[in-house]
Each structure stands twice: as C-alpha cells, then as structure tokens.
Structure 1
Amino acid sequence: MTQDAKCASLRTERDEVLAELAALEDPRVRAVNERHGDDHGVNLTKLRAIAKRLKVRPDLARELWGSGDSAAKLLAILLSRPKDYDQGELDAMLREAGSPKVHDWLVNYLVLKSPHREALRGAWFHDADPVVASAGWALTSDRVVKAPDGIDQSALLDLIEEQMQAAPDRLQWAMNTCLAQIGITNPGLRERARDIGERLEVLKDYPTPPNCTSPFAPIWIDEMVRRSSAG
C-alpha cells in the first residue's frame, strides 16, 4: 500500500470512529458533563470499550485528536502510550485540551508517565495561562508525594499562601491539592499547611457527599493522617 493509500485509509477509519462516537451521544450524559465544564455526551464506559477494541493506535490517536472533538480526544488518549509523544507535542496537546476531563486524562494518563514530565512541570508551573499552570501544579503535587527530594516545599507554601485565594478555579484547585499533599506527607510542614488552609478558607464550604473527604485542606490533611496512623 502506498503512503497516500495508507493516509486515506487512516482518515476513513477516523471518520468511522467519529461516527461511532456521535451515535453514542446521550443528551442526559451531556447535561451532567456540562455541569462540570465538559462538552461531550458519550458514556465513558462505552468509550473505554471502543478503546479496548482498537487497542494502542498512535496513528489513529493523532487523527482523532486533530478532529477537535472532546470525546475523540479522550479516546485518542486511551489509544496512546506516553512514549508516543515528544515534549513539544504534549505541550501543544495540553494547550488544545479544552475541557477539564481531557486536560485531566492527558496529564494523568500520558504526561505523568512521560519521560518529559519533569521538563514539562518546570515549563508549565509559572505559565501565564492558569489552566496550563494548573497542570504544572498537578505534576508538582505528584512529586511531593512520590519524589519529594529537590522540591522546596517551604517555597511552595509561600506561593500558595500568596496566590491561591485569588487564583482562577482550576489553578486554585491544583494549588489546594498541593497544599494538602504537603501537609499529609511532610510532618515538619503540617501545621503550617493547616494554618494556611484555615486562614485562606479555600474550598471550606465545598459540597462534599457523605462518606467522602472534604477538599478543604485542614480537613483533608487531618483525615489522611488519621487513616495513615490507624493503618
């Protein structure tokens, strides 16, 4: 098969998958997703079933991502491996992600497992776009938990104390997560982290379902420390 024929076949397959996703569109699912800032109506269990059938397909994944459709982007992530993308591609994809779910899956499924994750963490952490910066903070929270050596957690608390209260929602949430993880994992900074959370009151009144832990940092810290001690 010639290269042109391969490209044509791939585009045809892309169009067939897009049609399959469109047929799965459910107005009720879309209504729920829209309350969380997402813009698709495909049940994620059904989307994962398509990914399981197609398996790893970086060529098709790129075609689906290029369609701009959020459900197609989620499927593209599931058809990808972290090593399939270089640093520049992952940076561009994050800036194109659009919806929160696509952003979160991209960070958690690809960037966190990428050999470029630390370079991207540094590049995104102080980005002028708060959504991009939130990804830098998410990667930093992961470092705090899994590989804290070389992370100046006191300096992170300084930034959180100064900036979190006025930060846009996505960035504020990511900074609050980092605050809580510092408090949970670093006994030496636990009281300072709790104090910052108490004074800033970020997410203090966030509605939390029964049997779930509040994202309000002091409660989150105390609950996770209690569980660790009990275990």
Structure 2
Amino acid sequence: MNETTVAEVRAELAALDDPKIRAVNEKHGDDHGVNLTALRAVAKRLKIQPELARELWATEDTAARLLSILISRPKAFDATELDAMLRDSRTPKVHDWLVNYVVKKNPHVEQLRLAWFADPDPVVASAGWALTTDRVAKKPDGLDLTALLDLIEAQMKDAPDRLQWAMNHCLAQIGIEHPDHRTRAIDIGERLKVLEDYPTPPNCTSPFAPTWIAEMVRRKGA
C-alpha cells in the first residue's frame, strides 16, 4: 500500500471525528473522536491488510492505530515488534485493543506475558497482568495462584491506576474461576477496598472484587 492510500484512510477517519465523542474519550485518556462502530465498519470494508496496518500504526495517530489493529494479521508480528508497539501504546484504548486483539492471538503471547508481568513500567506491567488474567480464566495449569494472590495483596493497594485495575481484574478472576482460592480473594478485596466506591451505572456489575466475584459466581451457579 502506498502513502496515498494511507492519506485517504486518514482523511476518512478525520471526517468521522466527532468533537463530542472526542471530549468524552479525552476524559479517559483517549485522544480520538471516532465512533468505534463506524471505525469497525471501515475495518470491515478494508479487510485484513498487514502492510497498510503497519503504515497506519506508524502515523502515531490514535484512530489510525485502532484501525491498524483491526486490519492487522496478529500472527504476523514477532515478539520484538509487539514489545515495541506495546511500549509505544500510551492511550488506554490502543493499549487494550493491542493486547486483546493482537497479542492474545500471537504465538509469542506467553513469552510476552512473562516479560511484561514484572516490567518496571506500570503500563507495560498492566499488559502482563491482563495476559495473566486471561490465563487464570482459560489456561490456569502452571500458574501459581497463591503467589499471584500474594503479589496482589502486597502491591495492589498502592499500584498506579492502570496497573491497579489490571491486578484487581486478576484478583476477581481468581475468585470467580477457582473456588479453592475464592475465600482468600474476597478477603483481600474486602481489606484493600480497591475500587470499592467506583461509580457503577445501574444494571452493571461493580469492579469492586468481592461484589464482582459474588455476582459472577451467582450467574454461573458455582
């Protein structure tokens, strides 16, 4: 794909930019104003285009990077590329989509999980915790859940926001999926009180781990 094509796509994204959506997104640290349903429609039309995806990523524009993720081929990236991309993903939506739509589908996912989990950069570490949470739910064999709970108990209370959120999600997932660790997970949540007062819309489940665990266990009948 040539630069003209990239320019055309960026022009289309610019035309979709809505100041009201941008204002809402900026409150969450995301500097774009494109409706995500509209963005997905553009991606559906473009289909998978790895080269165009790389060029869009290189623009450093948030909307372009979100589109890049949607039209990329996850298995085409090597671990070094994904590590660099993750470290360059400073807006929450790009970070989350890269982890969930690309890294989780990449053959190097476990290597990256281990590398990121203990990274001194809390945003990078939050990606390691997100991948660990995915394993807690889907492939727990080989994970030391007791050690994870030890780390959460010791570090979550004072962790930076995005890392704290990722650790809290892991805590809740351990409590939901692993009955043998449920009582301790709930106890940790109750003592640390992380996200206890988080504003939760009606009909949504609170991210406060004890409430989250209880509600999901109730739904699963577990």
Instruction: State TM-score, norm by structure 2.
Output: 0.98
What TM-score does the superposition give when structure 1 sets the normalisation length?
0.94
1:75 to 47, 62, 67: 67
- 2:32 match: 40
Q: Quick one: which amino acid aligns to residue 20 of structure 1?
A: E
Map of 2:98 onto structure 1: 106
The answer for the alignment partner of 2:150 in structure 1 is: 158
The percent identity for this pair of structures is: 73
Residue 125 (structure 2) pairs with residue 133 (structure 1): yes
Q: CA deviation at 1:90?
A: 0.7
* Deviation of the 1:37 alpha carbon: 1.0
Structure 2 CA distance, aligned partners of 1:228 and 1:85? 36
Give the drift of 1:23: 1.4
Give 2:190's aligned residue: 198
After TM superposition, where is structure 1 displaced by more than 3 Å over at least 4 residues in a row? Answer: none
Partner of 2:76: 84
Q: Distance in 2 between matches of 1:19 and 1:194?
A: 49
Shift of 1:10: 1.2
Matching residue of 1:227: 219
Superposition deviation, residue 84 in structure 1: 1.6
The CA deviation string for residues 181-221 of structure 1, in whole angstroms up to 9 with x for no partner, is: 00111111110000000000000000011111100000011
Residue 169 of structure 1 is matched in structure 2 by: 161
CA RMSD of aligned residues (A): 0.9
The runs of 5 or more residues in structure 1 that have no matched partner are 1-8
Separation in 1 of the partners of 2:207 and 2:37? 26
Matched residues in 2 for 1:33 and 1:84: separation?
A: 30
Secondary structure of the corresponding residue to residue 31 of structure 1? helix
Structure 1 segment 144-155 matched on structure 2, within 5 A: 144-155=136-147
Q: Which amino acid aligns with 2:135?
A: R
1:94 aligns with 86
Cα offsets for 1:89-129 (capped at 9, x unmatched): 11111111121000000000000111010000000000011
Counterpart-to-counterpart distance in 2, 1:98 and 1:156: 25
Q: What is the identity, as a one-letter code, of the residue corresponding to 1:146?
A: K
Provide the C-alpha distance between the structure 2 equivalents of 1:60 and 1:39, rounded to a whole number of angstroms.
Answer: 22
For the pair 1:115 / 2:107, whether they are aligned, the reply is: yes
